[in-house]
Structure 1
Amino acid sequence: MEHQRKKREIIIGFVLFMGLVNFFADMTHEGARSIYGSYLGLLGMNAAKIGFITGFGEFVGYALRFWSGRYTDRSKKYWLIALVGFSINMAAIPALVLVNKNGWLLASFFIVAERMGRALRLPANNTMLSFAGMEVGEGKAFAIEEFLDSVGAFIGPVYLYLIMLFKPVVSVNDYRLLFGALALPAIITLIVLGKAYKKFPQPEKFASKPQFKSLNQPNKALLVYAFGISMFALGFIDFPIITMHIAQLGLVSTADLPLLYAYSMLIGAFSTLIFGYLYDWLGLKTLVIPALLSAGFSYFVFGNRSLGLIMLGITLWGIGMGAQESLMESVIGTIVPSENRAFGFGIFDMIFGISWFLGSWISGILYDHSITLMIVFSIGTQLLAIPCYLFVAWKNKI
């Protein structure tokens, strides 16, 4: 009994440590993402181009997880892969200081490179967390980590906002200062990651529960779930398009735009925590709740000029994003065996990424031609995910 208590404390300590790593990592890259829309617009890109680049970045960031997940499962080098991925992920953001006013191609390269680093590290990161989740609850483990992750995503934009209070942003050179300032949390990320490796060198030993499901077995429910998350991602408009839209309406100053993203991340943080704990209680049916809540966010954000209603839409966006990311990881941690779990994370992330890329690109094109059609497309595709979630919950009884 005493041994189990100590083991549980060690595992919770590991989850908190990795949460701290991801706190600073998200402070870095989500801080940058909060200003991508206005930054890329200043470089001369329209909505379609911004939607393509940010969507392509998400596609790369999710699709490459298929291969990084497979390699992680085969090599079992969880920490090495995580370190290399985090290093690329953290280096790409400060590198944006090298971009000049005509450098939208170079900026696009660094934005995509940042997503590539994230793609490399996440299957290893999530697999190590899933080992912990097998002992303390899949929903709880990912909820705690994603909560700290999302709080970091909230702090990052606020950090940039405070800088902009003293240095107004009116040119590309001003943005260089902001990207340079993000080097601080990037460095802290790598320091904390190194300490986590020294303290918990073999997280795979956390798992003791027997595995009884195989990813290689034909499973209709898995295919339906994959279709469901692809529909959600297809309709979930990326935030840079939201910030670009609000900037064009002139409802919020450029300096205040990061606060909108920070707010959505804060909502996502609590959404992650709440729905993660609900997952351990209700199972896969939990997915339906945030999907219903967030489906109509595009109507409130793009369908009117009221800042209050736009904020409601951003609130719904934060609920959907926060819940979906943690719950997808929890579901995969539950239904995929440990020996090929990183590959499982990679497959589903690839599906999600392809769909988000196509959805962001389509949404950007529709925005330039008909905002109404974009709203209908967004709501309709997200609602298609709900019957899929219900089917999988019924089929798997989880």
Structure 2
Amino acid sequence: MAKITPSIPILDLSWASNPDKKSKLLEQLHSALFDVGFLYITNHGVPESTISNLTDQLPTLFDLPQNEKAALNKLNSPHFLGYSGFAEETTLGEQDLREQFDFATELPVVYDVANQINNLKNETPSERDFSKLYWRLRGPNQWPSESSLSGFREAFTEYHDALEQLSYRFVHLIEEAFHIPIGTFDHFFGQQQPDFKPHGNETSKTFLPPQHRLKLLHYPPSTTTSASNQGVGAHKDSSGWLTFLYQIGHAPGLQVQLPNTGAWIPAPPIRNSFVVNFGNAFEAATEGAVRATVHRVIAPGPSGEARYSIPFFQGLPLDMTVREVRGYIPEEVRALRRQAQDAGDGGGDDRAAMFLDQRWDELGESQLRKWIRSHEDVGLKWYGRDVVDYYAQ
């Protein structure tokens, strides 16, 4: 298996359809899940044209006149979708030196309108409380005008749909790597109900198909000699189950923290590959068997090249809890990290701290907290000071 560093593997997904190589691929994937939490995938099946149709539009998108970008400002959206100007988002209390557009699966508003959606299959108004604030996260995008950016919405939708299907296929490989029945997690995504029941006596409940989120990111070269070079600060992903990152061009910046030593190593762009990493919810649900690895982006310096990238965050149902997710994961998988630690191996920071607090056990609560902490101005406008203060804890 090729590696660009001693620690970040590159997996060739074409091996999944090769009977002579699939077992080796699953072995590599198991190791990447358990030991690193980051990997590259190549030969992933997403057409290069689907990728380039969107990536070719990014320079034009970010070069739109400031008034057109401002008209799409995230402040317009209770769903936290839209444009964020340079250094408007914060991580660890410090400004991130980038600008971005947040988009998501195009879905209608459901917040507080339960009586209008009784036609959803196998659902009655009493089965889901749409008055919970986190349902306000779910809603439509703000789109640039077709006259300003011809073909953008079509290109985005094609890319979104391809990444959605890739994410579902990759989840099946994860299930195989951990010897979990294929289709175990399909229930989370509104796919066919698997022949699998949660552990214990819990009954399986229905979920709305989740809303996946994508960021279109631009890290411009610095125009000052500021000491801060935080493109985005050190963090674990809290926006979904899996992240698929496409890095455009050759500009470096992404760095991954090794779990056991704390050292930072680069994860540079590799043409036509995706970087895959795992979210806090995955780590918490597997009790650390899957690592959610800390990573960051270093912003380009004054003489650097502008950096563009597109992370796709595979969503989970907002009204699902980490406890419910854990119920789909066999004890033998959840015990792997404990066994490794007892053997003196696989230690390090295995905490998904957000989910140690029961207030955020419901995934919608943790998501609303994440967005309010990152964009307090949007939270204040749409949710109010009391809500912002509560989630800022």
The structure where helix makes up a greater share of residues is: 1
**Bigger RCO (CA 8 Å, 6+ sep):** 1
Q: Tell me which protein shows more strand as a share of its residues.
A: 2
